[in-house]
Amino acid sequence: MIDFYLLEMEIEDNIALNSIRSLDEILGEFQSQYSKKVAMLEIIGIVYSDDILDESEDEVLREMARRFNFSNTTLEIYKNWTKSMLALTNQGHLLLEI
The predicted structure's pLDDT at residue 24: 87
CA distance 38 to 20: 22
49 pLDDT higher than 70: yes
For helices 72-97 and 33-47, the axis angle rounded to 10 degrees is 50
Yes or no: say if 52 and 35 are a contact pair by the CB < 8 Å rule: no
**For residue 2, what pLDDT band results from cuts at 50, 70 and 90?**
low
- Contact criterion met (CB below 8 Å) for 57 and 47: yes
Residues of the chain with pLDDT > 70: what percent? 81
* pLDDT over 80 at 17, yes or no: no
Q: How far apart are CA 88 and CA 55, in angstroms?
A: 25
**Rounded Cα gap, residues 60 and 39, in angstroms:** 12
Q: What is the mean pLDDT of residues 76-98?
A: 93
| Confidence label for 12 from pLDDT (cuts 50, 70 and 90) | low
Residue 46 has pLDDT above 60, yes or no: yes
d(CA 23, CA 16): 15
Check pLDDT > 60 for residue 7: yes
E strands present in 1-98: none
